[in-house]
């Protein structure tokens, strides 16, 4: 046996069992005089420290390597309780500890937040029923909802923590600038939104006509289409009875059209508007849930 190796101990299984059960004092006197058991306990304490060192939802970089480095050396030991050897128990205990730790990370990563509020006219502060609220993150439309018929209220749930932009829309309003909101875990952010009445000068741009149909080819009336260009939302429209929606793109170049409708999965389409300013026509298919 080399100078760095320790003689095995028949009580290591019982010592680890008591430690994992939260009774470290049960064999305190023995651990104080046994180098093998003290090393085993120290290894699992280092493992526990590694797994608790970063409370963020994502496992820290190099976590697996650090965990393996913290594990005590697994060497053949005498059978404990006459039915299992510690060298079999140790890997199993390590896997259990890992499962609990990474399960905790999974729970944290699934912690969501919410945002709720109301849409009102800026003049008079009257609620706007049946308006739309679009929730964006970057150039992605995360979700769309309509306001309540009585108080113009809205709510988005199950949102991952982070910064979002909310954009209200009504057929009789000027499209406003998005309003930012920070979503925190297990918290509902409050967000009042305001709209101004229709502008005296109609908006200008190149028409983008979108035909919206379901997976059977039937038009989807009332589907909401959102045009995203250069990180901005210059146009929103609702499809008519024939499933047609008319958007306006303010400039040439890449753009994305997102589409939402109750009972369907959201859909998007990337295209490029030519510099000629010629109107373009797009077809979007929505799949029923």
Exposure string (b/e) for 261-288, b if CB count within 10 Å is 16 or more? beebebbeeeeebeeeeeebebebbbee
> How sure is the predictor about 107, in pLDDT bands with cuts at 50, 70 and 90?
very low
pLDDT tens digits along 126-165: 998 888 899 999 888 898 888 887 788 999 999 999 999 9
Q: Give the CATH architecture of domain 112-202.
A: Sandwich (2.60)
pLDDT tens digits along 177-213: 889 999 999 999 999 999 887 655 566 788 999 999 9
Q: Give the CATH architecture of domain 204-289.
A: Sandwich (2.60)
Neighbours of 60 (CB within 10 A): 14
Alpha-carbon gap, residue 271 to 11, rounded angstroms: 70
* pLDDT given at position 77: 43
Domains of the chain, residue spans: 12-109, 112-202, 204-289
Q: Is pTM beyond 0.85 here?
A: no
* pLDDT given at position 20: 65
Exposure string (b/e) for 27-59, b if CB count within 10 Å is 16 or more? beeebeebebbbebbebbebbbebbeeeeeeeb
Residue where the block lists tokens 């959102």:
226
How many residues does the structure list for the chain?
A: 289
Which has more pLDDT, 7 or 116? 116
What average pLDDT does the structure give for the chain? 76
pLDDT tens digits along 176-186: 888 999 999 99
């Amino acid at each position: 046996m080399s100078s760095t190796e320790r003689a095995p101990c028949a009580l290591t299984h019982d010592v680890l069992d008591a430690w994992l059960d939260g009774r470290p004092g049960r064999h305190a006197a023995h651990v104080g005089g046994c180098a093998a058991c003290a090393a085993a306990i120290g290894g699992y304490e280092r493992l526990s420290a590694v797994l608790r060192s970063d409370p963020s939802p994502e496992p820290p970089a190099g976590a697996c390597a650090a965990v393996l480095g913290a594990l005590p050396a697994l060497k053949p030991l005498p059978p404990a309780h006459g039915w299992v050897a510690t060298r079999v128990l140790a890997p199993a205990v390590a896997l259990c500890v890992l499962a609990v730790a990474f399960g905790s990370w999974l729970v944290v990563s699934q912690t969501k937040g919410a945002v709720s509020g109301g849409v009102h006219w800026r003049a008079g502060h009257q609620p706007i029923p049946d308006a739309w609220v679009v929730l964006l993150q970057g150039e992605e439309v995360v979700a769309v909802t309509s306001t309540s018929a009585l108080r113009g209220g809205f709510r988005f749930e199950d949102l991952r923590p982070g910064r979002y932009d909310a954009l209200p829309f009504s057929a009789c309003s000027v499209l406003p600038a998005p309003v930012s909101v920070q979503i925190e875990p297990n918290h509902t952010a409050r967000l009042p939104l305001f709209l101004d009445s229709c502008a005296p000068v109609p908006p200008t741009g190149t028409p983008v006509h979108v035909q919206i149909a379901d997976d059977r080819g039937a038009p989807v009336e009332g589907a909401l289409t959102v045009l995203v260009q250069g990180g901005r939302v210059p146009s929103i429209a609702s499809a008519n009875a024939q499933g047609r929606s008319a958007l306006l793109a303010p400039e040439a170049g890449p753009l994305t059209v997102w589409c939402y409708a109750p009972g369907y999965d959201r859909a998007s389409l990337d295209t490029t508007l030519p510099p000629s300013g010629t109107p373009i026509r797009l077809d979007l298919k929505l799949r029923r849930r």
